[in-house]
Amino acid sequence: MPRALLIDDDRNIVRTLAIYLEEKGFTVSAAGSAQEGLLRFSEHRPELVLLDLRLPDRNGLEVLQRIVASGIPTQVIVITAYAAVETAVSAVKMGAFDYLPKPFVPGQLDLLLEKIANMQALKSEVARLRGIFQEGDLLTRNRRMHKLLEMARQAAASSAIVLICGESGTGKGLLARLLHRWSQRAGGPFVTVDCAGLHENLLESDLFGHVRGAFTGALRDKVGKLSMAEKGSIFLDEVSEIPLPVQGKLLRFLQQREYERLGDAQTLTVDTRVIAATNRDLEELVRDGIFRQDLYFRLRVVELHLPPLRERPEDIPLLVEHYLRHFALLNSKPVKEIEEEALRLLQDYPWPGNVRELVNVLERAVILSSQAKLGVGDLPSQIIRFEKHQDRQARLISLAEVERRHIEEVMLHTSSLEEAARVLGINLTTLWRKRKQYRLD
């Protein structure tokens, strides 16, 4: 169900719009100030925002700028009783979809919603014809990614725990949000827990909550993020970093859906979907005694492996085009395209930091460029100086890795496991064993 956010301090307008949009199938939330609106926007990530330009605490154009800068895919319709051509032009230039002056009739909003639907349908059709998947900042034409996303969509429709694996910067958080958006819990909250960023006691408190006096500094009761994720999804980012004592409590929750806050004997329950992510090999951590085997088995009901950017070079031009447009708009820069030589350098670079590193490079390049076309001179020195042979030695791989990649490639280009086994010249039993060995889905 699509989500809409109304940011307007006129309660009558909000009430009327809420009823209208709910009849159109939207889940509606509302805010009466800029501060509250930005908070709700970050929490709910709505597909549609109706934004009043006159708010009690801030100019609506500032709110629009923050929404555009967030990178969250949404369409903003600016509404105001103070209609002016200059304001309308400014809002659209900043990224608003369109402008609606007060007072307006339902037919005017109907027309804008129809335009948004037509535009999105056209974009989807163009992307489909080009073999491109795009939803928000996640876009790809890579076959392996397409297959992974098909599996993710199937998993999203279930209540199963999903474990997302992949190197840092590959987009595990983006995929987690897609799983939530594609699920029946899309209307509920999406809550993230940074398992690597907190000390053991703080992580336990952040996840489960605590009562006043539970430990030094616990001056008041705190609601844990598990409770905050009621009827929604909780994303355990870098789950491999959870200390062993907390792992036991998490396992109990996953098995029984029960937990206690720190310092509280009362047992609580919560209805939430668990999505976890890691950039480390959990099987290796289990062997080293760092991660509980029973927790690992409980987490990997559905396991999705995001490939690194160096294994999907065909996606680099797509990502470059997308983020150039985004950062040019965000920073009011004239950059519209990239020189062929500069793009070649980006495609040759191995991207150890994956998509996150590419995004940072593009943001820097757009900010520092004053031309309409991004050139080689706008790129960081390590990319300009890099030559393919520099990492040739580092990228020598084992025979087992060659076999894994070949089996994966054959499976991507065949329609069934029987056909894949026939092409590989092995029987189905051997193929099953190889798939299990290399964790190929």
Q: Residue 223: helix, strand or coil by DSSP?
A: strand
Rounded CA gap, 3 and 21, in Å? Answer: 9
pLDDT at 396: 61
Domains of the chain (ranges, CATH numbers): 3-125 (3.40.50.2300), 143-305 (3.40.50.300), 311-391 (1.10.8.60), 399-438 (no CATH)
| Cβ–Cβ under 8 Å, residues 240 and 260 | no
Q: In the block, which residue shows the tokens 């597909």?
A: 47
Rounded CA gap, 50 and 336, in Å? Answer: 28
Amino acid found at 376: V
Neighbours of 213 (CB within 10 A): 12
Rounded CA gap, 105 and 87, in Å? Answer: 21
- What element of type H or E holds 277? strand 273-278
Rounded CA gap, 407 and 414, in Å? Answer: 11
238: Cβ–Cβ under 8 A, 6 or more apart, which residues?
194, 195, 196, 277, 278, 279
Rounded CA gap, 185 and 60, in Å? Answer: 30
Reading the block at residue 38, the tokens are 């930005």
Neighbours of 433 (CB within 10 A): 12
Q: What are phi and psi of 131, to 5 degrees?
A: 70, 30
Residues forming beta bridges with residue 77, ordered by sequence position: 50, 98
pLDDT at 84: 62
Rounded CA gap, 354 and 403, in Å? Answer: 24
Rounded CA gap, 197 and 237, in Å? Answer: 10
DSSP letters along 18-78, please? Answer: HHHHHHTT-EEEEESSHHHHHHHHHHH--SEEEEESB-SSSBHHHHHHHHHHH----EEEE
Neighbours of 269 (CB within 10 A): 12
DSSP letters along 73-111, please? Answer: --EEEEEESS--HHHHHHHHHHT-SEEEESS--HHHHHH
Q: To 5 degrees, how large is the angle CA 178–CA 355–CA 331?
A: 95
pLDDT at 182: 92
**pTM: predicted TM-score of the whole model, two decimal places:** 0.74
Reading the block at residue 247, the tokens are 């792992």
- pLDDT values of the chain reduced to their tens digit, one per residue, 441 residues: 788 999 999 888 899 999 999 998 898 999 999 999 999 998 888 999 999 988 998 888 899 988 988 777 899 999 877 656 677 778 888 889 998 887 888 888 999 999 999 988 887 777 776 788 888 788 999 989 999 999 999 999 999 999 999 999 999 999 999 999 999 998 889 999 999 988 887 899 999 988 887 777 777 888 899 999 999 999 999 999 999 999 999 999 999 999 998 888 889 999 999 999 999 999 999 999 999 999 999 999 999 999 999 999 999 999 999 999 888 878 888 888 999 999 999 999 999 999 999 999 999 999 999 899 999 999 999 999 886 555 544 456 788 888 888 888 888 778 788 888 888 889 888 888 888 888 786
